[in-house]
Amino acid sequence: MSDKITAGHVHMSGCTGCEVAIADNYAGLLTLLDKYVDWVYDLTLADVRHIPEMDVALVEGSVCINDKISVEEIRQTREKSKIVVALGSCACYGNITRFCRGGQQNQPQHEAFLPIGDIIDVDVYLPGCGPSPQLIKNVCVAAYLLLKGSDDQKALAEAYLKPLMMLSKRGTEACFCDLMYDVIDQGLCIGCGACAAACPVRAITHEYGKPQGQRDLCIKCGACYNQCPRSWFSFDVVNQYESIMETIDAAMAP
Ligand code: SF4
Ligand code: SF4
């Protein structure tokens, strides 16, 4: 395979938990850095002060729109990156920085934090607080194969990434009605309760293992949709899962 891709970690308003999740790949991270990725930007790990051109930007955290530097940084990230990944739930839908909204006690200072998809176009969503290390590793390898792999590898990488790309197109606009239509009514719900746990205004309850939404409480933040493991269910991925994982495992073999 050809040369490495460039990638970096852009830290907006997050707790650094997503960066810890990247590091939790241990030896896998070393393989990634050794074979596939030049890590060109990361306030914690690299001595680079200005956002450079890069193939993949992993953005952690939401954006405080009262902070001009943060707004400028996220705009530059979009301009200078081929693929922008919203890494973790704060970047995807605001997560904890939106927990003040709706029926909960008002904290006006938190109203200024927006998920990155409200400011720039985002290519891939990786929800989770933080996302699993394995998912981050798989997405990094798939991004590499999409940019530099053979035609077969590109096709498998695209199949794997497509549901996460679709999730980013929903952005923060999806709400409980979308969850109802795309997941529950399709018989895809596994009753895991992640939607109810994620809802910042407690608009979702579980009755007999099934989520029920109170639409008058819903503030349409997208949290339930993004956190639902079935909102990005894809028969393409299921049908090709073994080939996709074999390709990723082969790429990560020492
Ligand atoms: S039901 Fe979903 S979209 Fe509505 S407020 Fe709760 S988490 Fe947000
Ligand atoms: S998160 Fe998705 S799968 Fe889990 S209970 Fe809610 S709708 Fe069902």
Residue 154 sits in a domain of what CATH number? 3.40.50.700
Q: Whose CA is nearest to atom 8 of ligand 2?
A: 189
The H or E element that residue 155 is part of is helix 151-170
Neighbouring C-beta atoms of residue 75, cutoff 10 Å: 14
Assess whether pLDDT exceeds 50 at residue 103: no
Assess whether pLDDT exceeds 60 at residue 176: yes
**163-173 mean pLDDT:** 88
pLDDT band for position 100 (cuts 50, 70, 90): low
The letter for the amino acid at 242 is E
Assess whether pLDDT exceeds 80 at residue 68: yes
Q: 112 and 34 in one domain?
A: yes
Q: 182 and 160 in one domain?
A: no
Assess whether pLDDT exceeds 90 at residue 160: yes
Q: 113 and 57 in one domain?
A: yes
pLDDT band for position 83 (cuts 50, 70, 90): very high
The torsion defined by the Cα of 20, 24, 27 and 30, in degrees rounded to 10, comes to: -20
209: Cβ below 6 Å to ligand 2?
no
Distance between Cα 206 and ligand 2 center (Å): 10
88: Cβ below 6 Å to ligand 1?
no
Task: For residue 182, give the DSSP letter.
Answer: I
SS3 215: coil
- In whole angstroms, what is the distance from residue 206 CA to residue 212 CA? 6
Q: 188 and 166 in one domain?
A: no
Angle CA 136–86–20, to nearest 5: 45
Assess whether pLDDT exceeds 90 at residue 146: yes
Distance between Cα 21 and ligand 1 center (Å): 26
Assess whether pLDDT exceeds 80 at residue 152: yes
Half-sphere exposure of residue 169, counting CA atoms within 13 Å on the CB side? 8
Assess whether pLDDT exceeds 70 at residue 102: no
Which segment, 94-108, 121-135, 169-183, is predicted with the most confidence on average?
Answer: 121-135
The H or E element that residue 125 is part of is strand 124-126
143-150's contacts with Cβ under 8 Å and 24+ in sequence apart are 143/5, 143/7, 143/55, 143/56, 143/83, 143/85, 144/5, 144/36, 144/37, 144/251, 145/247, 145/248, 145/251, 147/5, 147/55, 147/82, 148/1, 148/2, 148/3, 148/5, 149/1
Q: What is the pLDDT of residues 46-62, one digit of tens each?
A: 888 899 999 999 999 99
Phi–psi pair at 95, nearest 5 degrees: 50, -125
Confirm if 152 and 201 have CB atoms less than 8 A apart.
Answer: no
Distance between Cα 225 and ligand 1 center (Å): 8
Q: 189 and 81 in one domain?
A: no
Q: 205 and 102 in one domain?
A: no
Confirm if 228 and 179 have CB atoms less than 8 A apart.
Answer: yes
Q: Hey, which of 195, 205, 210, 226 would you mutate to test ligand 2's pocket, going by the most ligand atoms within 8 Å of its Cβ?
A: 195
**Which of 69-73, 167-171, 223-227 shows the lowest mean pLDDT across its residues?**
167-171
Measured from the CA of 210, which atom of ligand 2 is nearest? Answer: 5
pLDDT value of residue 111: 61
Q: What is the pLDDT of residues 197-240, one digit of tens each?
A: 888 888 999 888 899 999 899 988 888 998 899 998 999 999 99
- In whole angstroms, what is the distance from residue 49 CA to residue 42 CA? 9
Q: 121 and 13 in one domain?
A: yes
Task: Provide CB contacts within 8 A for 129, sequence distance 6+.
Answer: 17, 88, 89, 90, 95, 96
How many domains is the chain partitioned into structurally? Answer: 2
Q: 196 and 143 in one domain?
A: no
179: Cβ below 6 Å to ligand 2?
yes
Q: Hey, which of 167, 179, 210 would you mutate to test ligand 2's pocket, going by the most ligand atoms within 8 Å of its Cβ?
A: 179
Which bound ligand lies closest to the C-alpha atom of 233?
A: 2
pLDDT value of residue 106: 43
Containing domain of residue 196, as a range?
Answer: 176-227
Angle between helices 151-170 and 241-252 (to 10 degrees): 110
222: Cβ below 6 Å to ligand 1?
yes
Phi–psi pair at 39, nearest 5 degrees: -85, 100
